[in-house]
Structures are given as C-alpha cells and as structure tokens.
Amino acid sequence: MGEVITVERQILRKNDEIAAENRELFRKNRIFVFNLLSSPGSGKTSLLEKTLEKLHNTYRIAVVEGDVQTDLDAQRIARFDVPVIQIVTKGGCHLEASLIQNALGNFTLNELDALIIENVGNLVCPSNYDLGEELKVVVVSTTEGDDKPLKYPNMFRVADVMVINKTDLLPYVEFDIAAVRKNALSINPNLTIFEVSCRTAEGLDPWVNWLDGKIKSEKAD
C-alpha cells in the first residue's frame, strides 16, 4: 500500500496548490465561496434552492454543481437567474481544485459576489480536497441518525458549519438534536450550527442572515 499512499499524497499536494490559486483568485475578486457537503439525499440542493430564493435578487451568485452522473441538480438551479456549471465526475467521489479552476473560466469573476459549490454526495472523500473555498458547510438530515459526526469524523473536523436539515421530520424519526450537536461539537468545538427545514422554511432566516453577513464582509475587506 506504500506506493498508493505516496501517489495519493502527491495528488493532495498538487490539489492544495491549485486550491491556493483558486483562493487567491476569489480574494482578488472579493467573492465569498463556500463548499456544500453531505451524504446523498441530505438536502444540499434543496438548501441551495432556498438560499438562492432569498439572496439571488440581492447578490450576484454563481453555482458549481458536482455530481457523479447527470445534470439534474444544475437543471434544478437553472430556474433561478444565476450562472450555473455542472461538473460530472463520471464515477469520481469528490470534486478537486482543478475541476473548480476549469469551471471558473465560465464565469465573469469580477461581477460575482458569491460562489456556491455543491460537492458530490459523499461524507468521506470530499473532506480531503480543499477547493479554495472560504468555508465548508456540511448538511446532515434528521433521517440519517444522530451518530453521523462520530462515524464520519473527518468531514465534521474540516467543516466550519453544520446545517441540520429536515427538522419537519423530527416527530417521525428517532433523532436527538441535542445528541447530534454534542457529537459534532465533540469532534469540532468551533462548528457553527443551524437547524432548518427546507420543506417548511423553518429556521432558514438565521442561516440566510448569517450568509448575508459573510458576503457583506467579503466585500468590505
């Protein structure tokens, strides 16, 4: 296995270099960028839709969609008046900085306020790949079990924000909000946590207001 690990390290080092270039580009153009991560079906695209509904008239936001296959998510986003690029990894379990770098050529960067990257649905692989984003936002849903932060610790370790989605289903599932908070904070005490239901819109305002502040402070820097 030694050789494989070496190759993986080389890939990660090269990835980190390109991520640093992306980050510099975002900084120069004052674009606030976050990377949306979760297992398949936690509601990344729904959260993105709700976020765009609230913010796309105020800010110029672009979206990069990552999927193993299909452009279904980009189609969902296309109904908003925002530029969206779909990356299809064709089996790859994560986005890489170079894929983002290539996608950026499709946008007029100095016209953008924010870029949202929706990663491939996966709680393992994407956690190792810096894309140059400012923040990583991990979504967990109330139907997945409150032990997820303990079982996939690296994702919660590298994340800055945890959004607990599908709170409308709490009456019908065995999921302890206090437990998932405690489990996540035991891995990463610095996590900012939001509780939302993309279905009923409950709890979305604090999340959107927080994002709004982040985009504003990127502009003011």
DSSP letters spanning 165-185: E-GGGGGGS---HHHHHHHHH
Q: Is 68 in the site for its own copies (CB under 8 A)?
A: yes
Q: Is 109 in the site for its own copies (CB under 8 A)?
A: no
Tallying the residues shown for the chain, one arrives at 221
Judged by CB under 8 A, the stretch of 77-85, 105-113, 163-171, 206-214 that binds its own copies is 163-171
Nearer to its own copies, 60 or 148 (CB): 148
Judged by CB under 8 A, the stretch of 20-28, 64-72, 107-115, 131-139 that binds its own copies is 64-72
Judged by CB under 8 A, the stretch of 15-23, 54-62, 85-93, 107-115 that binds its own copies is 85-93
9-38 binders of its own copies (CB under 8 A): 11
- Contact present, 46 and 77 (Cβ < 8 Å): no
**Structure-token pair, residue 147:** 């032990």
User: Would you call 159 helix, strand, or coil by DSSP?
Assistant: coil
Q: Cα–chain-centroid distance for residue 63? A: 11
Of 165, 42, 31, nearest to 104 (Cα)? Answer: 31
List of residues contacting its own copies (CB under 8 A): 3-4, 7, 11, 39-42, 67-70, 72, 91-93, 120-125, 141, 143-145, 147-148, 150-154, 166, 168-169, 172-174, 199
